Amino acid sequence: MIERYAIPEMTGIWTTEARYSRWLEIEVLAVEARFKAGLVPLEDYEKIRDNACFSTDRVNEIEEVTRHDVIAFLTSVSESLGPESRHIHYGMTSSDILDTCMAMQIRDSGDLIMEALKQYGEALAGLVRRTRGIVCMGRTHGMNAEPTTLALKFAGHYSEYLRCVKRLEDGLKSSCVGTISGAVGTYAYLDPSVEEYVCNRLGLGVEEVPTQVVARDRHAQFLYALSSIGGAMERFATECRHLQRTEVGEVEERFGKGQKGSSAMPHKRNPIVGERLCGLARLLRGYLVVGLENTPLWHERDISHSAAERFVFPDACGVTLYGLRKAAELASGLKVLENAVTENVENAGDRYFSQSIMLALVRHGLTREDAYALVQKIAMDAMESGESFAGSALANGEITGVVPREELGNICTIDNHLRNEDYILGRVGLS
CATH number of the domain to which 56 belongs: 1.10.275.10
Task: Write down which residue in 344, 372, 402 finishes a domain.
Answer: 344
Of the residues 311, 344, 377, the one at which a domain ends: 344
- Find out whether 331 and 125 touch, Cβ atoms under 8 Å: no
419 lies in a domain?
no
* Of 33, 345, 341, residue with least CA distance to 199: 33
pLDDT in tens, the chain (431 residues): 889 999 999 999 999 999 999 999 999 999 999 999 999 999 999 999 999 999 999 999 999 999 999 999 999 999 999 999 999 999 999 999 999 999 999 999 999 999 999 999 999 999 999 999 999 999 999 999 999 999 999 999 999 999 999 999 999 999 999 999 999 999 999 999 999 999 999 999 999 999 999 999 999 999 999 999 999 999 999 999 999 999 999 999 988 888 888 778 888 889 999 999 999 999 999 999 999 999 999 999 999 999 999 999 999 999 999 999 999 999 999 999 999 999 999 999 899 999 999 999 999 999 999 999 999 999 999 989 989 998 999 999 999 999 999 898 888 889 888 999 999 999 999 98
37 and 175 together in one domain? no
Q: Which domain holds residue 356?
A: 351-411
Shared domain check, 311 and 190: yes
Determine the Cα–Cα distance for residues 52 and 54; give it in Å rounded to an integer: 7
Do 226 and 327 share a domain, yes or no? yes
Residues 335 and 359 in one domain: no
What amino acid occupies position 262?
A: S
Number of domains in the chain: 3
| Annotated catalytic residue within 55, 68, 95, 141 | 141
Q: Is 329 inside a domain boundary?
A: yes
Same domain, 103 and 125: yes
Which is it for the CA torsion 381, 383, 386, 389, positive or negative? positive
| 141 annotated active-site | yes
The catalytically annotated residue of 95, 175, 262, 431 is: 262
What is the number of other CB atoms lying within 10 angstroms of the CB of residue 14?
18
Q: Given 3-state DSSP classes, what are the helix, strand and coil percentages for the chain, each rounded to the nearest 5?
A: 65, 5, 30
Whether residue 262 lies in the annotated active site: yes
Same domain, residue pair 102 and 228: yes
Q: Is residue 58 part of a domain?
A: yes
- The span from the CA of 245 to the CA of 241, in Å, is 6
CATH number at residue 317: 1.20.200.10
> In angstroms, rounded to a whole number, what is the distance separating the alpha carbons of residues 217 and 220?
5
Query: 76 with 49: CB under 8 angstroms?
Result: no
Any residues with CB less than 8 A from the CB of 244 and at least 6 apart, and which?
250, 251, 252, 253, 271, 274
| Domain final residue, candidates 39, 58, 87 | 87
- 29 and 98 fall within a common domain: no
